[in-house]
Amino acid sequence: MAFRRVCIALGFFCLVLFIIQSPAASIDMLSSFGGSSVDSFGDVAGNNPGGTTFGQTFVIHGSDAAAQNLTFMVRPYYPTTAPQQITFQAFIMAWSGSRPTGSVLFASSPLTTTGSTFAWETFSLPLGGALLQRDQNYVAFFTADNFLDGIRSDAGMAINGNVYSEGTFVSHYGESGFNSLLTSDWSAPFGSSYDLAIKLDYQAVPEPSSALILLFGLGALPVWRRLKKQR
């Protein structure tokens, strides 16, 4: 019995090690950033009353994945054109083709820019292993909708040309709160011509069948040893 418990414990250890050593990858539109921006998101952003939200759609192929980190760049319009720094959040949700759908998979804590006008600031957020299902469309989006106070506090985001063929830049204008993002369609104002300059790091999750085979093999080891002794 003690040997069997050791084998089972070893099986779980190997399974955890298998998951840890699964290949890491990223969707990277940030490393090719050339200095362009899309303007502007936030509260009373530009000429848009209410909130304005920017997002980037994406998809994971091959296997399910655990989201690891999200990196992006923002430049505030404070103090020249906005009287206060922008406070916003980053979210990841499934994408229906026209709006976020389902449950919130990731929501950051409140984020606030701290620099001067047009000075780029880089944000890097751990995503806590949020599960991304293969072949499902998702959207990473950036919004001040939970902090609307009617005072202009907008900012620009780093953007690239179409460097990612399986997603695009999307936006939503004139929100009165976060729920507005989920109840009306978004637009792709530039078609498929632009992507937000973001980098999403993720790690592949092994197929359940692989994990079960590993555990079954290790669990059957004591039986095989007993049969071998009886011969």
Is 60 exceeded by the pLDDT of residue 6?
no
Note the pLDDT of residue 27: 98
**Residue 22 scores a pLDDT above 90:** no
Per-residue model confidence (pLDDT) at position 230: 54
Query: What gap in Å lies between CA 109 and CA 176, rounded to an integer?
Result: 20
Q: Give the lowest-confidence range in 75-84, 139-148, 219-228.
A: 219-228
* Residue 44 CB burial class (10 angstroms; 0-12, 13-18, ≥19): buried
Residues of the chain with CATH 2.60.120: 23-205
Looking at residue 113, its pLDDT comes to 97
Provide the CATH topology of domain 23-205. Answer: Jelly Rolls (2.60.120)
Structure tokens at 49: 């009353």
On the question of pLDDT at 179 being above 90, the answer is yes
Whether residue 99 has pLDDT greater than 60: yes
CB count within 10 Å of CB 160 equals: 21
- What is the CB-side half-sphere exposure of residue 61 using CA atoms within 13 A? 3
Mean pLDDT of 105-109: 98
Mind listing the pLDDT tens digit for each residue in 193-217? Answer: 999 999 999 999 987 644 444 444 4
